[in-house]
Amino acid sequence: MTATRGLEGVVATTSSISSIIDDTLTYAGYDIDDLAENASFEEVIYLLWHGNLPTQAQLDELKSQLAENADLPKEVLDHFKTYPIDQVHPMAALRSAVSLLGLYDSEADVMTEESNYQKAIRLQAKMPAIVAAFARVRKGLEPVAPNKNLGFAANFLYMLNDKEPEAIAVEAIDKALVLHADHELNASTFTARVCVATLSDVYSGVTAAIGALKGPLHGGANEAVMKMLTEIGTLENVEPAIRSKMDNKEKIMGFGHRVYRQGDPRAKHLREMSKKLTELTGEPHWYEMSTKIESIVTGEKNLPPNVDFYSASVYHSLGIDHDLFTPIFAVSRVSGWLAHILEQYANNRLIRPRADYTGPGMQKYIPVEQRG
């Protein structure tokens, strides 16, 4: 056996959900550029779960199901109020809340195809409600009940801010959700598939995935990008700050990707949205700083920005707390996790790789009194 660090280049399964071929990302054969420009997030959810885009009737039914299942159990809302708010990261709160949801779902351990699909509906519907409710509770505000007349992206912003959002904000969130929905066999998706391959339940699979996404080398990168931009502060400080990081061999978050070699195809869509939003909010320096950082890092290190880099300034321009950036990623990516979970159940085999042992050779037990 030969070990491959990080399983780089190892093909671990077959899947019909998404692909990355020659730096082109597709969902079920649809180019991400096509979907980012034309599809709603609800259409993408249907596409990932069914392998084809919905008819109008199918889309209407999915929207209705998501709206009807968006409310959170009172026990979950009350649980937020027990957290040590000043110590809890929203990703930890999200992970705990999803696990808690399983306790209040009477079908949590029912493993039929229909039951698992209905659990997927419930989880997809409740994820934005969890993020928005926790964000408000920690500020001493009451959670906002979902508005069943709003679409997925608009409803998330409504629950977060207790007012109907402007069209540009809905467009930005919807586009970000589409772009983050799935990404082949990334770390959190692989985690979800490993978990449910044991025939554990859907809630366990999504909870495990959230734990993987929480790490700064996966979903946490967008929050780290905004922290870097805030620390740099001004356009004039960009060059000395970035060159200092490069000289000290510090990792510059939001650049490079394990799979893409010529650049992340999703990044350009959020770059355009960042430019539009920062100009509208009167803070163009966030976009200008970002493009200057890109020119230095890409120009000298040949590392193009990934999807996390410009999502940071997009979310900031919408007035979203920086530590909510990764939970928003999860609100989108749960659509992909659920697609992979359902696919794993449909053709399951326990995922059990081997390890290349590097420890000592055969040894003999020595009684404790004889050990020197």
Q: How far is CA 80 from CA 48, 85, 322, 328, in A?
A: 31, 8, 19, 18
Contact 81, 313 (CB under 8 A): no
Residues with Cβ within 8 Å of 319's Cβ and at least 6 positions away in sequence, in order, are 161
User: Can you tell me the distance from the alpha carbon of 153 to that of 157, in angstroms, rounded to the nearest whole number?
Assistant: 7
- What strand order describes the sheet that includes 24-27? 18-21, 24-27, 30-31
- Phi, psi for 150 (deg, rounded to 5): -105, 155
Sign of torsion over alpha carbons 133, 135, 137, 142: negative
List 264, 308, 316, 340, catalytic entry: 308
Instruction: Say whether 323 is catalytic.
Output: no
Contact 115, 107 (CB under 8 A): yes
User: Can you tell me the distance from the alpha carbon of 225 to that of 231, in angstroms, rounded to the nearest whole number?
Assistant: 10
Q: Which of 181, 125, 187 is nearest to 156 (CA)?
A: 125
Instruction: Say whether 218 is catalytic.
Output: no
Encoded amino acid at 294, one letter: E
SS3 call for 84: coil
User: Can you tell me the distance from the alpha carbon of 288 to that of 274, in angstroms, rounded to the nearest whole number?
Assistant: 10
List 257, 269, 316, 340, catalytic entry: 257
Q: Which of 144, 137, 51 is nearest to 93 (CA)?
A: 137
- Catalytic residue numbers? 257, 308
